[in-house]
Amino acid sequence: MKHAGTQALAALAPLLTELRALPGWVERKPGTFYRAGTAMLHFHEDPAGLFADLKQDGRFVRWPVNTRAQQRAVWVAARDMLQSARALQS
């Protein structure tokens, strides 16, 4: 499964906009997010569709992101992960 290219990321533009607004991470290249120097989220494309790999509990979990509902689920999971990380730092 290859990393998402320009066209795939364009299809995810609304999700990417929402992800970029979340505090606590940096988008080092389009669609690839890091927190504290560690890769946390990136996207893949294959014939089955588009997928997000979100690091949760130290490992990447694959999420489908082909529908708005799936994208919302990834956004919520990313937000919750970042909030938990900030709470642990406090």
The structure's pTM equals 0.91
Contact criterion met (CB below 8 Å) for 78 and 19: yes
pLDDT average, residue stretch 56-78: 97
Tokens of 45: 């494309």
pLDDT average, residue stretch 4-15: 96
Q: Please name the helix (run of DSSP H) or strand (run of DSSP E) that holds residue 59, with its range, or none.
A: strand 59-64
Pick the closest to residue 82 from 30, 32, 21 (CA basis): 21
The domain segmentation of the chain, as residue ranges, is: 2-89
Determine the pLDDT at residue 1: 78
Contact criterion met (CB below 8 Å) for 1 and 42: no
